Amino acid sequence: MADDQQPPHDRPGPPPAVPDGQPPAVPDTGFDAEQWQRFQRFQEFQRLEEAQREGRLPPLPPPYRRPLWRRILFSKLVRKIAFLLALLVAASWALNHYFGDPDENLPAHITGGHQETRSVIHASSAAEAFRLFYKEVGGGTDPTTRTHACHRFETPELEQRFADHFNAPSCEVAVQRLSDEVTDTTSYARHRPWLEKLRPGPDGNVVISSCELEIEGGPPLGRFTFRIIPRSKGDQWIITDHQKEAADCR
């Protein structure tokens, strides 16, 4: 072709190059730049859907769902229930810690049983149980103290046996009458360290005779048998038998 020849005018040339860093020009469609971009994204989405329907693209994975147990565990209802339970536990602990159980010093046959497995409500040794019984008899003018003294016996039948040994209609009446004979409560319930050295026999019992001791300040109360309450917290001791001894120990 000669230099002065020109290419035919009916052949379109290539589109003008777009400088790097500049978006393609928006066609004259009445859209602004943002609307045109949204329209292009919509067209791209339609092309993807059509390709999936025709099997040319793998289907998109289903949206992730947490396992059922996790949805239940983290649900609002479960969180509310857990919060309420925590409040109830905290309130129960506070009441028991700061106010205590009004019946915690009563024995099993009064409170309904098994208090000793949860709390220390009896003496921690046979010697201490013996001393506390004498102390409560010495303070037997008080109704509550009389009740505590009688509840150191294992059963109501044993309480009544103690009362019979002192010719009283009930254990509490016996304690009240014996209390009237006490002249020195300190000496009457004094601590005897050597009693702490007593060890249970083969049957697990410890026997303490009032007449073998020098009881001062009041009447001797007889012969006591003590044993550990089974499964009690801290090995608590209770009176399991009582035998009458002479009032003058002769």
Interval 50-76: pLDDT, tens: 776 766 656 666 666 777 777 777 788
Distance CA 117, CA 123 (A): 14
**Cβ–Cβ under 8 Å, residues 237 and 127:** no
Residue 106 lies in a domain: no
Q: What pLDDT, on the 0 to 100 scale, is given for residue 137?
A: 95
- pLDDT at position 69 is 76
Residue 144 lies in a domain: yes
Does pLDDT of 102 surpass 60?
Answer: no
Q: What tokens were used for 235?
A: 């090995």
The residue range of the domain holding 189 is 132-243
Q: Is residue 127 part of a domain?
A: no
CA 6, CA 94: separation in Å to the nearest integer? 103
Compute the distance between CA of residue 15 and CA of residue 221 in angstroms, rounded to an integer: 122
> Which residue has better confidence, 122 or 225?
225
* Average pLDDT of the segment spanning 179-192: 91
For 130, other C-beta atoms within 10 Å of its C-beta total: 25
What's the mean per-residue pLDDT of the chain? Answer: 79
CA dist., res. 44 & res. 37, Å (int): 11
Region 214-223: mean pLDDT is 93
Residue 242 φ then ψ, to 5°: -145, 135
The pLDDT value given to residue 109: 46
CA 226 vs. chain centroid, Å, equals 32
Name the percent of the chain lying above pLDDT 70: 72
Question: What is the signed CA dihedral for 181, 184, 189, 192, rounded to 10 degrees?
Answer: -130
- Residue 67's pLDDT is 79
* pLDDT (0 to 100) of residue 57: 57
pTM of the model: 0.54
The answer to whether the beta carbons of residues 198 and 191 sit under 8 Å apart is no
In this structure, is residue 110 part of a structural domain?
Answer: no
Would 168 be classed as within a structural domain? yes
Query: Is the residue at 175 inside a domain?
Result: yes
The fraction of the chain above a pLDDT of 90, given in percent, is: 35
32 within some domain: no
Number of compact structural domains in the chain: 1
Does 194 have pLDDT greater than 70? yes
Q: Is residue 6 part of a domain?
A: no
Kindly state the average pLDDT of the residues 102-108: 47
Please report, as a single letter, which amino acid is at residue 155: T
Q: Which residue has the higher pLDDT, 155 or 79?
A: 155
